[in-house]
Structure formats: structure tokens, C-alpha cells
Structure 1
Amino acid sequence: MAAATKKSKLEKSIVIFIMVVGGILVSIPFIWMISSSFKPESEVLAIPPTIIPDNPTIENYIQLFTNMNFAVYLRNTLIIVLFSFLGLLFNAMAGYGFAKYDFRGREKIFYIVLATMMIPGQVTMIPVYLLLNYMGLTNTMTGIVLPGLAVAFSIFLFRQFMTTIPDDLIEAARLDGAGEFYIFFRLVVPIAKPIFAVQGILTFIAGWNSFLWPLIIANDESLYTLSVGLSLLQGQYANNFALQMAGAAFMVVPIIIIFAFFQKYIVEGFTMSGLK
């Protein structure tokens, strides 16, 4: 028994050591990015390199908002995130409809929604662009946010979760005189908080990182997002690595913070939605 306990402790120590070393190795680029964002341009490529800046400065971040219009890019990104959350509500309603309403062609329509998940987004970009161009919505914020309001994967997750809500509970609310919108917002939404949490996190990350579609649909710099602005930064200031690190840190840090605080909801949401 003592030998088995000793062996178990040794194995646990080895696993912990490997995880710590692996975590440190994975964190080195992130730590270097954050550190370099506070360095003067002359110190970034100094030999030997310094992890902690000798002369820390926030000048790089100031330049992002004075020389690179990052305030405009931030505003556009937040608008996209806001409308993405509006789309999240629509997706929840669609998932609820597929789960709890019995209408003609429900299964066929749902299978079509699932089929769209198998099509790469790059394949549909040209048809979507042509449709928006026909409606005169290219180079507009409406054209940027409109295609992202409906997401097949989000509808699928909501549908999978809401099938677990007892039908008797909804029927009881209807017998009490509750309307459909009242049932959805006051009964279904509180029960579906876990899936709303995980989808909210994924929606934020997708909206915050939006790059390819805004780059395609918009040719006006006033409509660019943070990701597109970071790409411009790499082209216009290719030799200013400190400024590039500041832009990258400004993009990554909010996502790291959001994920660190809410990562448990991602695992819980996928598990409760029936995904393994």
C-alpha cells in the first residue's frame, strides 16, 4: 500500500512538472508580446534581450490611437460585437422554435441549417457579397454585421439545449395564460443561462476577431475593425516591432481576460448541449 501511494505521488509530481514546464513554454510568446509593448523601439531588438523593460513607456499605445485611428477601429469592432449579441438572441429564438414548436417541414429545415455548417465560410462569401452589392450594402456597417446575425452552429447548440426543457413546464405556463414571448424571456431564457453564457463568450471572441469579412466588404478605412487595423499596422510600421506588439496586445488581452474568467462556462455549455 505504501509503495502504491509513493508511486502515485511520484506520477502526480511528474505530471505537474510537465504541465508547469509546458505552460511556461506556451506563455513565453505572450509574455514577450506584453513586455515588448511597453518598450521603446530601440529596446525591443536589444542584445541581450530584456523581459522586463529597462525604460517602460506607454508611448506605443498612445501612438495606436493618435497615428493609427485605433479608436475608430475599436468603435467599429464594438458595434459588430453588439449586433452579434443581437444575432445571438435571434439564434436562441430559432433554436427554441426548432426544439419546442411542431410545424410542417421542421426537421427538413433543421437539416438544411445543419448542412450549412459543413460548408466553409469562404465558399459563401462571394454569393453573400453579390447579394449585398445588389442591395447596395457594400462598404456599409449594415453589410458587415448583417451576415453574422444568423449562425447555424449557434442555432444548433440552442436547439440541443432547449430540447432538454420539459414540455410540461411550457404547457403549464400557457395554461396560466402566459404569451409566447413571456414564456421565452421569463421562463426559457433563465433556464438556458449556461448555453447563453457559452454562446456569449464565443460570440464575443468571433466579433472581436472579425477580420476577413470586414476586409472584403469595406474599402473605407472608417469601417475597418481592430484586426484589419492590426494588419495595416504590420504593413505601415513593419520595422516598428514595439508598436506592433502594442497592437497585438491590445487585441489579445481582452480575449484572454474574458476566457480566463468564463472558461468553465464553455465546458459546461458544450456538455449540457450534448456535445462530447
Structure 2
Amino acid sequence: MRCFSYVLTYPSGSSLSFLPHHPTLLKIRVAGERGIWDYFTNSLVIAGGGLLLQLAEAVPAAYAPARHRFRGQALVLTLFMLTMMLPEEVIAIPLSLVLGDVPVVGLDLKGTMWAVILPLGAWGFSIMLLTEFMKDIPTEIEEAARMDGVGEFRLLWQVVLPLCKPALGVAGVLGFIMIWDQYLLPLIAAKDPTDYTVTVALSILRTDPEVGSGVVLAGAVIALIPSLIVYLLLQRSLVTGIAAGATKG
């Protein structure tokens, strides 16, 4: 509340109070003049693209170990977990080198949004979450569908996936927030300051001597909006998915 109060008042640096005396959007306008909305758009594109890629990869990657036994299955699941164990600081330099010269195709992705979207699409948490959820889905429905001649892809799309909505809600909310809060990867992947995301822009805005803390807080309020909207829209799925996981445990 203090953050919102400070953003909406004190355009001339007047004394502090909990409730604004003369509310104004001056600091938000100043943040907009500093390009915060352009960085906001960059973050939206990256978060949306990264989340879609993440879920598109996670669903089939989770279905395979959840429903089929194959050699090296434990190793595959362990590799998925390793993507969550390695901190960004450890892989920052190797990732920067790879993005500058993508193996096989030899593309230079640095300076493009794909340099951020592609690495963030490979998040092991979504795969592990969906794998455990799919294991709890009764197989009788799938067996009946197979007897009717339903293929594997159609079975996944029309039978299994609708039953995974609670888990997809959890993966969607947490995945979006994880991507939206990224700082290091957008920083090293950008070649031009105009490619920065809103989180990187806020850290730079803090060092600008021409703006005060009120403008920085205004930018922080703007950056908070998408995560809040995503949570409110998927709140029911999030609670249902967490409750299902707690019941299993």
C-alpha cells in the first residue's frame, strides 16, 4: 500500500503520508516518457511466447514417462530436474556463447527475443508437475479410447489434456511469473537497450539521477500488473492444482 500511495502522490517531493492528499499520475507519466511501456511490451511478448513454448514442450514430454516405460526413463527425469537445480549465474556465460552461434544452424540469436524465449521454454518444473499429475489419471478411460481406435496423439489431445487443466493452470501461473521476473537472461541476450525487458529497465531506471524513487516505484507498479492479472484469471486452477498435489502427498 505504501508503494501505491507514494506513486500516486507527492509530485513535488512533499511530506509523506499513508493516504495521498492530491492523487496524480505524474510519476506514471514520467515512467512512460522513459520508455517503460516499450519495455513492458517486450516483456509481454517474451513471457507469452516463452510460456506457450514451455507448455507445448511440457505436455508431450510429461506424457511419455507418465504413460510409457522405456530404457533410461529415470535418467531423463533426472535431466529435467537438473534444469531447475542449476542457477542462472552458472550457465550465463555458456548460454551467451551458444546464443551467439547456435550449434548446427549457426544462427546468431543475440539481440532477438528468441534468445530469451527459447531457453525459458525448457523449464523442468512444468514437465515434472505434469508428469506426476498424469500418473494419477486413471488409465481406464485411455484404454477404452484405444479400443475405439483412437491414436496416441488424439488420445493425448482429447482425453488426457482436458483432465490436466488444474496442473496446466499451476504450470501456467508459475511459468509466467518465472519468465516475467527474469533479469539476467534478458540482460545478456540483448544487444541494444531497446530490447530490454521491464525488469532490466527498472534496474537501470534506479541509477538514473534525473528521476526519483517515485518514478521507479511507478514502474514497479506497472510491472506488477500482468502477474496479478494472470493470478486472478487462473486462481481457481491454481488452487485446484495445489490441492490435488497436497491430496496426493
The normalised TM-score by structure 1 is 0.80
CA contact (8 A) 2:42 2:197 kept: yes
2:73 match? 106
1:78 match? 44
Q: Deviations over 1:218-252 (max 9, x none)?
A: 13122111111111211114651221121111122
Deviation at residue 163 of structure 1 after TM alignment? 0.5
Mapped to 1, the partners of 2:70 and 2:239 lie a distance apart of 32
Of 137, 145, 151 in structure 1, the residue corresponding to residue 109 of structure 2 is 137
Mapped to 1, the partners of 2:229 and 2:114 lie a distance apart of 29
CA contact (8 A) 1:81 1:204 kept: yes
2:105 match? none
1:120 match? 87
RMSD (CA atoms):
2.1
Task: Give the unaligned 5+ runs of structure 2.
Answer: 103-107
1:32 match? 2
Of 105, 127, 151 in structure 2, the residue corresponding to residue 155 of structure 1 is 127
Mapped to 2, the partners of 1:57 and 1:270 lie a distance apart of 40
Task: Indicate whether 1:186 and 2:153 are aligned.
Answer: no
1:15 match? none
2:172 match? 200
> Using a 3 Å threshold, how does the CA distance of structure 1 residues 249 and 51 change in structure 2: closer, same or farther?
same
Q: Which residues of 2 match residues 242-261 of structure 1 at below 5 A?
A: 242-259=214-231
Mapped to 2, the partners of 1:229 and 1:121 lie a distance apart of 19
1:64 match? 31
Number of matched pairs: 242
Deviation at residue 146 of structure 1 after TM alignment? 0.7
Q: Deviations over 1:76-116 (max 9, x none)?
A: 11111111222122112211111112333222212222234
CA contact (8 A) 1:39 1:57 kept: yes
2:178 counterpart SS class: helix
CA contact (8 A) 1:234 1:244 kept: yes
> Using a 3 Å threshold, how does the CA distance of structure 1 residues 115 and 229 change in structure 2: closer, same or farther?
closer
Say which one has the larger Rg.
Answer: 1
Task: Indicate whether 1:232 and 2:204 are aligned.
Answer: yes
Deviation at residue 255 of structure 1 after TM alignment? 2.7
Q: Structure 1 counterpart of 2:73, which letter?
A: R
Mapped to 1, the partners of 2:225 and 2:84 lie a distance apart of 29
CA contact (8 A) 2:83 2:123 kept: no
Task: Indicate whether 1:41 and 2:11 are aligned.
Answer: yes
The normalised TM-score by structure 2 is 0.87
CA contact (8 A) 1:41 1:240 kept: no
